[in-house]
Structure 1
Amino acid sequence: MKLGIAMFPADFAIRPDELAVAVEERGFESLFLPEHTHLPATERTRAEVGELPAHFSHTYDLFVALTYAAAATRSLMVGTGIALVAQRDPIVTAKALASLDVLSGGRVLFGVGAGWINEEIANHGTDPARRWSVLTERVKAMREIWEKDIAEFHGDHVRFGPLWSWPKPHRPSGPPVLVGGSGPRAADRVLDFGDEWMPHAGLPVAELADRITKLREAAYEAGRTDEVPVTVFGTAPDAAHLAQLQEIGVNRAVLYAPPTDAETVRRFLDEIAPLVSTFQD
């Protein structure tokens, strides 16, 4: 089972390139960065989500931060954990991901999610109630751009005529799409437009095991020949729990690092680094 690190790339925390080097030096397989374009400064959002930590509104741009991380490392996988695709233009995002995938030598993991702060989503012109249908079409449209020399897409939310867009990703089908979420439709979304499932930590192990089994059975019945990989995002750095995840077939576990100063983050990574030799393939 691979081990990854996630951290909000806040402007007051360790730099993304320094973080990536520290993660790679300690043997972790991947680094995932979350994103929020902004945090609405309104009573409506405050009433909906409460007082959120400062790092929600202080994150660097996701792809700028990932580019710094990729440029500073050689083998580390760099991932969006998650990209809020319902808030992103698909043509621009397809180019950003393809560029990063080419420049990093195919080291990009594309974790996707629909977001959960309604006013943030709405500020981008997306109806929060339709965010998953918007995300679905945008990911499919991006795949068209990646895979075809002349791409076009005609859906309910995404519409564009024939276009050229290069570079194409390092991998012909594009970076693997890791579908976030643990809701009842998560498996359907993985089978529809994803390559992997990335539930957030918190599901009971028995329930997670059952859902992994059902997802992989459904994938086999749908004609997939590979076993759908599963990444559990935000799990605790607890050896006993990680052993349970490994036992039920989880392929990657991602541990959160605190978004704080470089010394504190490096000390945290040192404390959990022994887990790499225990669990990583």
Structure 2
Amino acid sequence: MSESRPLQLGLSAYDLPAADFLALARAADAAGVDSLWLGEHVFHPKEYTSVHPGSHQAQHHTGPLVQEHTHLLDPLAMLAAAAAVTSRIRLATGILVLPLRDPLLVSRALATLQEISGGRVTLGVGAGWLQEEFTALGIDFTQRGRRTREAITVLKACLGGGFVEHHGKDFDFDPLLVVEEPTPVPVILGGNGEVALKRAAAVADGWFSSGSLSLDEAARLRSQMLGHLADKGRSEDDFEMVIRPERADTSAVGSFVELGYRHVVVWADQVWDAAQPHEQQVAAISAFVNDVRSQVS
């Protein structure tokens, strides 16, 4: 990666009430955090047998990822609210399960989000792993990868400005207009499997690691991704790798930066306490950001 790309520090949130997420957004924005990522699931299956592909890794959130008491938020609605109470922080879905949705509807929501935020929104997407979500919505789980790739093609075309049409296997429409002028939204793909890495190198603007990674795992995935980018005639100059370590401390962040990562995202609840007053929240996050920036380059 080019040494000229500045270090980006982000926070990742999941299982938060809406009011707490907005408090986090305000505090992170004031503290100088570069990005805020919100994960999602659509609903809680009463029971499920699907296994998260990162379940073999050390996870900050232990136990089932989707259960009765997990507080789920719609990420696009929540980022719109966050955009209204922040002024500079980059707002991202981390991640949105894109194949569950019609990309025409997503493109309209993204265009609105970019208007509200002044262009600060990034779309982090994944193909999904919870089969029960797909079954309930009547979508073929086995074709989620193909559907994801085609949906990204549709999104980029619709947000490119002007009339577009598309005739594919999963989506088919005659000429229509979503936005008159180009409304770019970076698309970053999640997932640590070989198929997900190849998909990101082929169609996305970047890649976001799934789960909380050890240093060895992060090094292996970075090497794989660089290889896939080279196969596509691409490099890190036009591709962003976003990594999430197991711990939120200067030493952990520094180790990932030494591997070559320039965008490190930590779990928000490791540096932020919802019970604290706003001023203390800002002070705690600022201390983390300042400590990392002073010791890690």
**Superposition TM-score, scaled by structure 1 size:** 0.85
CA distance in 1, matches of 2:273, 2:43: 22
Change (3 A) 1:265 1:9: farther
Q: CA deviation at 1:241?
A: 1.7
Q: CA deviation at 1:61?
A: 2.0
Match of 1:4 among 10, 16, 34: 10
Match of 1:158 among 171, 182, 195: 171
- % identity of equivalent residues: 30
Match of 2:266 among 229, 245, 255: 255
Change (3 A) 1:128 1:6: same
Deviates more, 1:16-25 or 1:225-234: 225-234
Change (3 A) 1:275 1:114: same
Matches within 5 A, 1:164-175: 164-166=177-179, 168=181, 170=183, 174-175=184-185
Matches within 5 A, 1:25-40: 25-40=30-45
Q: CA deviation at 1:152?
A: 1.4
Q: Tell me the secondary structure at the aligned position of residue 224 of structure 1.
A: coil
Paired letter, 2:114: D
Q: CA deviation at 1:203?
A: 4.1
1:190 aligns to 2:200 (yes or no) = yes
Gap runs ≥5 in structure 2: 1-6, 52-62
Q: CA deviation at 1:99?
A: 1.4
Q: Tell me the secondary structure at the aligned position of residue 246 of structure 1.
A: helix
Change (3 A) 1:27 1:244: same
CA RMSD of aligned residues (A): 2.7
Partner of 1:243: 254
Q: CA deviation at 1:129?
A: 1.8
Paired letter, 2:93: T
Q: CA deviation at 1:103?
A: 2.2
Matches within 5 A, 1:139-150: 139-150=152-163
CA distance in 2, matches of 1:258, 1:214: 30
Partner of 1:212: 222
Deviates more, 1:147-156 or 1:85-94: 147-156
Matches within 5 A, 1:83-102: 83-102=96-115
Is the 8 Å Cα contact of residues 50 and 132 (structure 2) preserved in structure 1?
no
Change (3 A) 1:156 1:94: same
Q: Tell me the secondary structure at the aligned position of residue 133 of structure 1.
A: helix
CA distance in 1, matches of 2:125, 2:31: 26
Is the 8 Å Cα contact of residues 257 and 265 (structure 1) preserved in structure 2?
no
Partner of 2:239: 228
Q: CA deviation at 1:261?
A: 7.7
Partner of 1:24: 29
Q: Tell me the secondary structure at the aligned position of residue 160 of structure 1.
A: strand
Count of aligned positions: 273
Q: CA deviation at 1:94?
A: 0.7
CA distance in 1, matches of 2:135, 2:189: 21
Partner of 1:106: 119
CA distance in 2, matches of 1:194, 1:265: 39
Gap runs ≥5 in structure 1: none
Q: CA deviation at 1:84?
A: 0.8
Change (3 A) 1:222 1:82: same
Q: CA deviation at 1:108?
A: 0.8
CA distance in 2, matches of 1:248, 1:107: 27
Change (3 A) 1:16 1:275: closer
Is the 8 Å Cα contact of residues 124 and 188 (structure 2) preserved in structure 1?
yes
Partner of 1:279: 292
Is the 8 Å Cα contact of residues 214 and 245 (structure 2) preserved in structure 1?
no
CA distance in 1, matches of 2:276, 2:142: 39
**Superposition TM-score, scaled by structure 2 size:** 0.81
Deviations 1:100-154 (A, max 9, x none): 1122111011110122211112222212222111111111111111114111112
